[in-house]
Structure 1
Amino acid sequence: MLNQVIAVAVGGACGSVLRFLVSTGVYQWLGRGFPYGTLAVNVMGSFLMGLLVEVLILQRVAMTVEYRAAILVGLFGSFTTFSTFSLETVYLIEQGSFGKAALNIGVSIAACLIAVWIGLLGGRLLMLYSGGVIRSMGWAFPYAMATINALGALLIGLVASLIVEKIALSPEYRAAVMIIGAGAFVTFSGLYLILYLIEDEHPLDLNVNWMLSVFLSNAIFCGLALWSGYWIGKKL
């Protein structure tokens, strides 16, 4: 129980920071005339929640309870924010912006429901072939989880671009944001692929070379996705 609480706390801290960065970048990009930042984090979080609930829980992918709690409860629970959505809606009503308030309610509810549904559908599609894992001659490659990693990297690249390009930052701080963010994501996403393989009964001492290959492959895919997200963000 204590391990789950710690996992949720760590995931919650990461999710809160991500929510701040994403919402701030979106507001700098689109302005504060409408709750764009809160809408963006809620829709993105709903999609990713649906995707990972399908993969990690409904499809019973091998992953410890602590990691599931850290991701689903901690990370995405703190990344999304119903309370901020409610507060911003009330502020719009108090300002007499009844049309914007109604639009925020309608768009938020509809978009989040659609995003969750698309996420669940995407998770099911990823897991269609062999439970999301390619197996051959004693080795395995969790392509479903690797695809989710690449998608996460794409979103991080997009957000980083919005933050770096839309907010005045020194070159040193820009480099720090990009290198630390990219390095942390590539490292941890590769780590949980290896943990997945270990929990899938592939002992580390007997599969060191293969696991290093999986880690490096994930780093390459995530690097390309990060670059793509950053490039897309610069074009927005």
Structure 2
Amino acid sequence: MNQLLAVALGGSFGAVVRFLVSSGIYQWLGRGFPYGTLVVNITGSFLIGILTEALILQRIAMTVEYRAAILVGFIGAFTTFSTFSLETVYLIEQGSLTKAALNVVISVAGCILAVWIGLLCGRTLFFYSEGIIQWSGGMFPYALIIVNTIIAFLIGIIATVLLQKVMLSLEYRAAIIVIMISAYLAFSGLYLVLFLIEHGYTFESNWNLMLSIFFGNGLLCLLVIWLGLAAGKQI
């Protein structure tokens, strides 16, 4: 039941973010080609590749529901094969055979390439000492923090799309962005804390290490989100 609730929660966030991102992309580039669906599918494919290494292959027993919420719920709802199929059929019915073929080729090849790149990034990050730097009395999960910053950069770009392209009131856009960034900072920091607990660290004995990594991850992700916002404005 806990996993079902986690998937439902992650799926609700994923569906909302997909709608906002795809709507922003369509308002930006138009509907002459299924750009919005293509962007969310390729982005989601990259995320599921890199997060498979970070969340599943590390096999942290305490975070089964956490992984289910992200991989099955959020990314499952964020990406959409059915919309891709429907838009391809519409292109065929409109006589745009070239666009339909292009959509199929770019979507399939692009998503497979994005998953492969994501897996390759994850495997590279966790190759050296399983993504951990250890010393007497402490450790630094550098690989997970790098994964967090990569996603933070994407969030910055997505937030730019929401700010500039989606036709919502300023209040709604501000609320969505604040909630999205706050939730990400909390969950990414929580996963790091769970990672430390899984490796034998406790709040009683290692509270300073846990707080340092939690808040350090938050500050770094905020900086990278800001960089993503700046980069998104140049697109």
TM-score normalised to structure 1 length? 0.94
1:44–1:115 Cα contact (<8 Å) kept: yes
1:164–1:174 Cα contact (<8 Å) kept: yes
Q: Distance in 2 between matches of 1:123 and 1:71?
A: 16
In structure 2, the residue matched to 1:129 is: 128
1:24–1:37 Cα contact (<8 Å) kept: yes
What do residues 65-107 of structure 1 show as CA deviations (whole Å, max 9, x unaligned)? 2122111111111111100000010111111111110000000
Q: Given residue 218 of structure 1, which amino acid in structure 2 is its aligned partner?
A: N
In structure 1, the residue corresponding to 2:232 is in which secondary structure? helix
Q: Distance in 2 between matches of 1:10 and 1:168?
A: 25
Q: Given residue 111 of structure 1, which amino acid in structure 2 is its aligned partner?
A: G
2:25–2:35 Cα contact (<8 Å) kept: yes
Matches within 5 A, 1:77-156: 77-156=76-155
2:60–2:198 Cα contact (<8 Å) kept: no
- Alignment of 1:219 onto 2:234: no
Q: Distance in 1 between matches of 2:79 and 2:194?
A: 27
Q: Given residue 124 of structure 1, which amino acid in structure 2 is its aligned partner?
A: R
Deviation of 1:169 (Å): 4.6
Identity %: 60
1:89–1:105 Cα contact (<8 Å) kept: yes
1:7–1:69 Cα contact (<8 Å) kept: yes
Deviation of 1:38 (Å): 0.4
Q: Given residue 73 of structure 2, which amino acid in structure 1 is its aligned partner?
A: G
Deviation of 1:170 (Å): 4.3
The Cα RMSD (Å) is: 1.5
In structure 1, the residue corresponding to 2:99 is in which secondary structure? helix
Q: Distance in 1 between matches of 2:174 and 2:34?
A: 29
The unaligned stretches of length 5 or more in structure 1 are none
Deviation of 1:59 (Å): 4.2
- Alignment of 1:70 onto 2:69: yes
2:131–2:141 Cα contact (<8 Å) kept: yes
* Alignment CA distance shift 1:97-1:171 (3 Å): same
In structure 2, the residue matched to 1:210 is: 209
What do residues 20-52 of structure 1 show as CA deviations (whole Å, max 9, x unaligned)? 121112112211111001000110111111111
Q: Given residue 119 of structure 1, which amino acid in structure 2 is its aligned partner?
A: G
- Alignment of 1:230 onto 2:222: no
- Alignment of 1:189 onto 2:159: no
Q: Distance in 1 between matches of 2:57 and 2:192?
A: 19
Q: Distance in 1 between matches of 2:83 and 2:49?
A: 21
1:45–1:76 Cα contact (<8 Å) kept: yes
Q: Distance in 1 between matches of 2:72 and 2:25?
A: 24
In structure 1, the residue matched to 2:56 is: 57
Q: Distance in 2 between matches of 1:63 and 1:80?
A: 26
In structure 2, the residue matched to 1:29 is: 28
Q: Distance in 2 between matches of 1:61 and 1:134?
A: 17
Q: Distance in 2 between matches of 1:90 and 1:141?
A: 50
Find runs of 4+ consecutive structure 1 residues off by over 6 angstroms: none
What do residues 129-186 of structure 1 show as CA deviations (whole Å, max 9, x unaligned)? 2111111112122111111111111111101111111235544344323322222211
Q: Distance in 1 between matches of 2:168 and 2:9?
A: 27
Q: Distance in 2 between matches of 1:8 and 1:168?
A: 29
Corresponding residue pairs, total: 235
- Alignment of 1:162 onto 2:161: yes
Q: Distance in 1 between matches of 2:190 and 2:92?
A: 46
